[in-house]
Structure 1
Amino acid sequence: MRLKHYLKYIIYSLIAISIVGTGTFYLWQYVKPAEPPHKITKINLLTIGDSLTEGVGDQQHEQGYSGRITRELKSHYHLPVKTTNFGKAGDRSDQIRSRVLAQKNIQRKISQSNIIVLTVGGNDLQQVLLKNATVKTPQALTASVNSSTKTYTRHLQQLFTTVRSFNADAPIFIFGNYNPVYVYFANRADLNQDVKLYNNINQQSTRQVKKAYYVDIFDLTYGQYTTSKLRKELTNTSAISMQTLLSDTHSDVHNDYISDDDHYHPNSRGYDYMTRQLLQRIKQKEIVWINQR
């Protein structure tokens, strides 16, 4: 009896081992561990947007931040960098999206990129400011800017959705904007607030889009006037007419980071600053793009 009981125990044990072994084999076949990520072998950088991406105002003709960030990425990561620049001066958010939808080449380059950089919003805001240039008070101008934010928010969301339809995974770095005429109208605090309002839309949009990150460049507004004391002094001395500004006969007041040609776009020093801000954000978020499966 003991021998019979012992044989039963052995048989049941062998059956149990067989079942577990078979189940483990099939589980391995159907639930294989994911391959470990590996570092990318090259960086495909796509820059798209308005005149800041085109590089207007850059005396060194490096396509603004686009050429500079290409050089910095090569140096920092020791990888080949292929950069495609789709910057176009004057484009608003809806016009950038229209170009993406209309041009297969842009769509293809977006799909191939592993870093995307976007400049947008400056021309949207400028359009509102120019349409309301004759309003009598700063408060009335700000009210018009406020009323335009719903349209800009919608257009920006549509642009993000369109870009993501061609590339779901590459990080998107979106620049904020700055007030290019601050040093000439330092007493007009409302203009800074208007720019910040649109910047807030850019920043908030990144919280609704996967792997989207905001790059702050608002300090270009102040240029070399980096302290409260300097800005206060500027407020008391910088009020000039737009006609005088455009005639190039104004005083020595100027922004060291903004082009003296148009008093609007960054100069080479300004683009250097934009590049430093962008590189810092790219390095902070490299975990989301440096590896691929």
Structure 2
Amino acid sequence: MRTLKKVGFSLISIILFALLSYVVLDFLVPKSNSSSSENEEIAQQQSRVFLDLVAVGDSLTEGVGDSTQRGGYVPLVADMLRTNPNVKNVQTANYGHAGDTSSQLMNLLEENEEAQADLKEANIITLTVGGNDLIRNFRQVGLNGSVEDFETTIQEYEENLNSIFSLLNQYNDEASIYIYGLYNPYHYYFAEFEGLQAVFDLWNERTVEIAENTDNVTFVEIDSLFNPSDAPTETEVESNSGDSLEDIQDTNHPYLFEDDLFHPNDSGYKVMASALREAIEKELEDTDSLLSMNR
């Protein structure tokens, strides 16, 4: 009888010890790779950011020349960003208005309450501005005007741009702002006007200076994308083929809208969207920026 009690007691002790060992080991030993992967996936999902992108500006933001009439680069960059693993979703609002100068854009920001409300909620603001200021000056002095002929216009633009950034900061001092530089739509056809490119270069240089001295602003360069240094000019095409301007429709600028040879076409807007995407994704790689956008 005592032997049976000893056996029973030993069995109970073994079972209790086994259970205790299991609990301790379960607590101390790391979880399986499967569980770890699930936790990492959950953490990644929680860290993904929702992008609220508000676009303001001129015809390049409205999307003149876009055959789909969806809004130029804005929906394109949204689609591109949705494929980024750090992005949960992208929402956009487009306040582009064809023909607006920098002063007219400033007025829109001061008066349009709907735009103001959207800007306050945005974590990304995009901007195209200055092209119409420059074009008005070209109409006065022609395509062969010198840099000095544009200095007054450039100075007025600089004042307006500073005011625009001040307004945007007033509505939302946490959003990341991306301003496009200008591209020279005349370079392909009128490269013989040597001073023409100098005007666009100076304009972009002044914009870069303001952007670098303003918090949360990034300059997006596109002139070299629209006018790569190795692209043939119309003059070269004509000299090689003997055709006149009317006869070389198939050699139009690959990124310009055929109806006006000024605004981007569908391919041009893809170039703009890709350049903006690259700039935004560079910021998304920054952990601090990602956390800031997630607030």
Counterpart amino acid of residue 211 in structure 2:
T
Q: 2:97 aligns with which of 63, 88, 91?
A: 88
Q: In 2 relative to 1, CA 123–237 (structure 1 residues): closer, same or farther, beyond 3 Å?
A: farther
2:169 is aligned with 1:164: yes
2:53 is aligned with 1:45: yes
Q: In 2 relative to 1, CA 64–125 (structure 1 residues): closer, same or farther, beyond 3 Å?
A: same
Partner of 2:259: 261
CA distance in 1, matches of 2:229, 2:65: 22
Partners of 1:177 and 1:199 within 8 A in 2: yes
More deviation in 108-117 or 192-201? Answer: 192-201
1:181-192 maps to which residues of 2 (within 5 A)?
Answer: 181-192=186-197
Q: In 2 relative to 1, CA 289–104 (structure 1 residues): closer, same or farther, beyond 3 Å?
A: farther
Secondary structure class of the residue paired with 2:188: helix
CA distance in 1, matches of 2:158, 2:113: 25
Secondary structure class of the residue paired with 2:91: strand
Residue identity (%) = 28
CA distance in 2, matches of 1:110, 1:232: 42
1:1-293 maps to which residues of 2 (within 5 A)?
Answer: 39=47, 41-76=49-84, 77-133=86-142, 138=144, 140-222=145-227, 226-227=229-230, 230-231=232-233, 234=236, 237=239, 249=246, 251-252=248-249, 253-286=251-284, 287=286, 289-292=289-292, 293=295
CA distance in 2, matches of 1:271, 1:232: 22
CA distance in 2, matches of 1:149, 1:119: 15
1:18-40 C-alpha deviation (Å, 9 max, x unpaired): xxxxxxxxxxxxxxxxxxxx846
Q: CA RMSD in A?
A: 2.4
Secondary structure class of the residue paired with 1:91: coil
Partners of 1:220 and 1:270 within 8 A in 2: no
Secondary structure class of the residue paired with 2:82: helix
- Report the TM-score when normalising by structure 1: 0.76
Counterpart amino acid of residue 207 in structure 2:
N
Q: In 2 relative to 1, CA 161–168 (structure 1 residues): closer, same or farther, beyond 3 Å?
A: same
Secondary structure class of the residue paired with 2:204: helix
Report deviation, 1:236.
7.5
Partners of 1:149 and 1:198 within 8 A in 2: yes
Counterpart amino acid of residue 172 in structure 2:
N
Report deviation, 1:159.
0.7
CA distance in 1, matches of 2:211, 2:53: 19
1:197-226 C-alpha deviation (Å, 9 max, x unpaired): 11112211111110100000002442xx65
Secondary structure class of the residue paired with 2:52: strand
Counterpart amino acid of residue 91 in structure 1:
D
Q: In 2 relative to 1, CA 250–153 (structure 1 residues): closer, same or farther, beyond 3 Å?
A: farther
Secondary structure class of the residue paired with 1:63: coil
Unaligned segments of structure 2, at least 5 residues: 1-45
Partner of 2:29: none
CA distance in 2, matches of 1:206, 1:40: 28
Secondary structure class of the residue paired with 1:79: strand
Secondary structure class of the residue paired with 1:178: coil
Secondary structure class of the residue paired with 2:83: helix
Unaligned segments of structure 1, at least 5 residues: 1-37, 239-243
Counterpart amino acid of residue 252 in structure 2:
H
Partners of 1:114 and 1:289 within 8 A in 2: no
More deviation in 85-94 or 124-133? Answer: 124-133
Report deviation, 1:165.
0.5
Larger Rg: 2
- Report the TM-score when normalising by structure 2: 0.75
Counterpart amino acid of residue 130 in structure 2:
G
